[in-house]
A and B are shown apart, each in its own frame.
Chain A
């Protein structure tokens, strides 16, 4: 986070829908505030001084690998773990001292944790019954909720009689029925197969938008995070490394960890040779070439930096492009045909490998680039991001 102070990168393009993106406004009031929260397990620091603001009706995603502290943070929000230090506020109320069973927060578990001895309808009704809601109202609200998740006809089944996707929706219904202020979802699509996951994620977004409940999702799957969320917080070793909209994280990563964790990237280590206000030039010995980047950065002369280029932003061609900058020659080392696109691994004379993806626009095979072809790689000055850490 602190890196952004001396890495001036072009500001993300301002979309006109600022009303729907309160995090872009300075005066917006956050709905969930996590203030300097840390969690230690003995010597081990699981969550390290995390501060985070989440706004009403957001679908916020915590993205990180295993052991990054994302699940511990989620469990602190649910009330299963107590922070070692720091506060958590929901809708202005400090919930740190409120036990899990009294918090206006519900959770959808990774294993779904449906009670195997209760029917689907009784599972969904469980939360309302604990609150002493009158029986007639429980029945009505359970029926409504089951209809919402398209399980209206399966209320009398036991969880083990449901398919994976149905179980996921039953768990969602159970977590939503108490109308929580914040819904926590632990790897909500993790247990589903790929095809079902794609359908379900849009369903999840629909339900979230209809109900306007604030969602907080924990996942290790960057694709899931990108499609679901309004904003993503990337976590590594207990710290939040970057918070931003999916587009920002992908196009303007602030450090190598985010660049490499979200999508794939080609990183070139190098040194700044020219540093002007509107461009920089970086010499990279491992690429055997200089890169031109059409925005300024502020850094010490001679400082070690990394130029990051996404595989799909690199043009690959048999003929030498006309541009003089950001141009490399190499040999195709490997081709992976994936249907909609092809992935090339190009070997530079110095031994460095570069990953390039190219959509397969033509159907005919003979026009395609092949193994051992000599090719030129090129990209424009604004496709590259300079990282200082």
Chain B
């Protein structure tokens, strides 16, 4: 293990530098006092203060948060149902097809997901008059569809590792199958639901491509606003905004990872 200590250390450092140098430079320059992005002019919180004055950005942030919270919640509900079906209803017709299809959105190019959803929404509007136009609702629906796949996979793996005799024991002790889900199954998969929610939240917050396809005027999400601003030139203000987003996403991902670790550590006792 320790035969090439120098080599190991160097390669680890190189890897981390490669991954994080761009992010670190972005964070560092967000505290730059100078208006020129690439010239260091001293430390300051000025751009963060300016950010709070920018209504366009604040509005976009609110839209993003609203979309992320709603779609994460919906994705958890639908993903749990899907994951539950896949792992608990034994061998039904089309089980394999369904389990393959549920993971498809994970590998599908976002452009295609976005485009197909846009076409669907337009067609639906033409036929039923709903959803009328593109806006927050369509973004929520779009984000729910791909986040749901992540939740289903997480829930399914958690259920697979769960001792099935726990549910049988509850039934044996007099719990009707409908109550036993809430009394036993749900509390036991709760950590998976929490990590699924956090993951969906961050995925939704990050998404640019799908949102660009399905959102309407006046409903731009934060990544969309950043992207459009950057095309007109990078400002230190964007650096500050990106830093804040990195912070939120990092918290989400770390919390999800922490939940997962807690759940696997408890698993042997179950």
Contact = CB atoms under 8 A, between A and B. Distances in A.
B166 A113 contact: yes
A158 B188 CA distance: 14
A78 B173 CA distance: 10
A159 interface: yes
A361 to B, nearest CB: 47
A111 B165 contact: yes
Interface in B155-170: 163, 165-166, 168-170
A102 interface: yes
Nearest to A125: B173
B173 A127 contact: yes
B169 A130 contact: no
A107 interface: yes
A105 B168 CA distance: 13
B169 A113 contact: yes
A115 B174 contact: no
A113 B163 contact: yes
B269 A116 contact: yes
A131 B174 contact: yes
B168 A109 contact: yes
Nearest to B177: A101
* Chain B contact residues: helix, strand, loop or mixed: helix
Interface string B36-68: 000000000000000000000000000000000
A111 B168 CA distance: 12
B168 A115 contact: no
A89 B169 CA distance: 22
A178 interface: yes
B184 interface: yes
A283 interface: no
A232 to B, nearest CB: 24
Contact of B174 (A78, A101, A109, A160): A101
B171 A101 contact: yes
Contacts of B1: none
Contacts of A178: 173-174
A100 to B, nearest CB: 5
- Which of B169, B176, B179, B268 has the most chain A CB atoms inside 10 A of its CB? B169
B176 A80 contact: no
A181 to B, nearest CB: 13
Contacts of B173: 101, 106, 126-127, 130, 174, 178
A115 B170 contact: yes
Contacts of B176: 101
A117 interface: yes
B187 interface: yes
B168 A80 contact: yes
Interface residues of B, number: 22
Interface in B174-200: 174-177, 179, 183-184, 187-188
A131 B176 CA distance: 11
A102 B172 contact: no
Interface string B96-115: 00000000000000000000
A100 B269 contact: no
Contacts of B3: none
Contacts of B93: none
Interface string B109-150: 000000000000000000000000000000000000000000
A26 to B, nearest CB: 35
Contacts of A117: 187-188
B231 interface: no
A71 B169 CA distance: 15
Contacts of B266: 116, 160
Contact of B175 (A80, A106, A109, A130): A130
Contacts of A106: 172-173
Nearest to A107: B172
B269 A101 contact: no
A159 B269 contact: yes
A130 B174 contact: yes
A116 B170 CA distance: 12
A123 to B, nearest CB: 9
B171 A109 contact: no
B270 interface: yes
Interface of A: 78-80, 100-102, 105-107, 109-111, 113, 115-117, 126-127, 130-131, 158-160, 174-175, 178
Given A101-B173, A116-B266, 19 more contacts: A79-B172, A100-B171, A101-B172, A101-B175, A102-B174, A107-B168, A107-B169, A110-B165, A113-B166, A115-B169, A115-B170, A115-B184, A116-B269, A126-B170, A126-B173, A126-B175, A127-B173, A174-B169, A174-B173
Interface of B: 163, 165-166, 168-177, 179, 183-184, 187-188, 266, 268-270
29 contacts: A78-B168, A78-B172, A79-B171, A80-B168, A80-B172, A100-B171, A100-B172, A101-B171, A101-B172, A101-B175, A101-B176, A101-B177, A105-B172, A106-B172, A107-B169, A110-B165, A111-B163, A111-B165, A113-B166, A113-B168, A113-B169, A115-B169, A115-B170, A116-B266, A116-B270, A126-B175, A174-B169, A175-B172, A178-B173
- Please give me the 7 A-B residue pairs with the lowest Cβ-Cβ distance, nearest first: A160-B269, A130-B174, A127-B173, A113-B169, A113-B165, A116-B270, A117-B187
